[in-house]
Amino acid sequence: MGLSVRDDPKKVIDPETRQWGPTLDGFALSIESVLLREDRTVMSNLSVVLRNVSDAAQSLVVPGWLFFFHVEMIGPDGSRVPPSPFGGELLKLKRRTERIELTLAPGALTETQIPVGSIFEMAGRGEYRIEAWCELPDGARLHSNRISVTV
């Protein structure tokens, strides 16, 4: 008996098909829900894409993607959705030890998938409104587009 390994094809992100938040300091931020392959009705992750929309290469030093991107979620009842016990543990400041140096060429982008279904208490049925943001080197907040997902 053998083990078969299949490489998934490299994911290509078409910036023209995504919705974007407002441009700030030469960057733009986009979010989309990622559905499970096995059940296309279930959201598994949040795809967060940072794009350099300037004419020059731009560099950032980020404290690991889970601490660079901040996700704000409003639940079906209109209140902010709290972190799950797992999410609370994962996002403790003592875990903020990573530093990533990133340089994006003009037009380049980078994607991070955040497991929001595990990080947040999404127990209630209904519509969840989601937005992400990150802090740029000058302290300004770059906001994404807003999306809604129904669970």
Distance between CA atoms of residues 63 and 47, nearest Å: 18
Using an 8 Å Cβ cutoff, are 76 and 128 in contact? Answer: yes
Non-local (6+) Cβ contacts of 2 within 8 A are: none
Using an 8 Å Cβ cutoff, are 100 and 134 in contact? Answer: no
Q: What is the 3-state secondary structure (H, E, C) of the chain?
A: CCCCCCCCCCCCCCHHHCCCCCCECCEEEEEEEEECCCCCCCEEEEEEEEEECCCCCEEEEECCHHHHEEEEEECCCCCECCECHHHHHHCCHHHCCCCEEEEECCCCEEEEEECHHHHECCCCCCEEEEEEEEECCCCCEEEEEEEEEEC
Digit-by-digit pLDDT tens for the chain (151 residues) are 444 445 555 678 888 999 999 999 999 999 999 876 665 556 678 999 999 999 999 999 988 878 899 999 999 999 999 999 988 898 887 777 888 899 999 999 999 999 898 899 988 889 999 999 999 989 999 999 999 988 8
Q: Which two tokens stand for residue 129?
A: 């409104």
The residue with tokens 């996700």 is 71
- With the C-alpha atoms ordered 12, 15, 19, 21, is the resulting torsion angle positive or negative? positive
Domains parsed from the chain with CATH numbers = 18-150 (2.60.40.3880)
Residue 12 is predicted with a pLDDT of 80
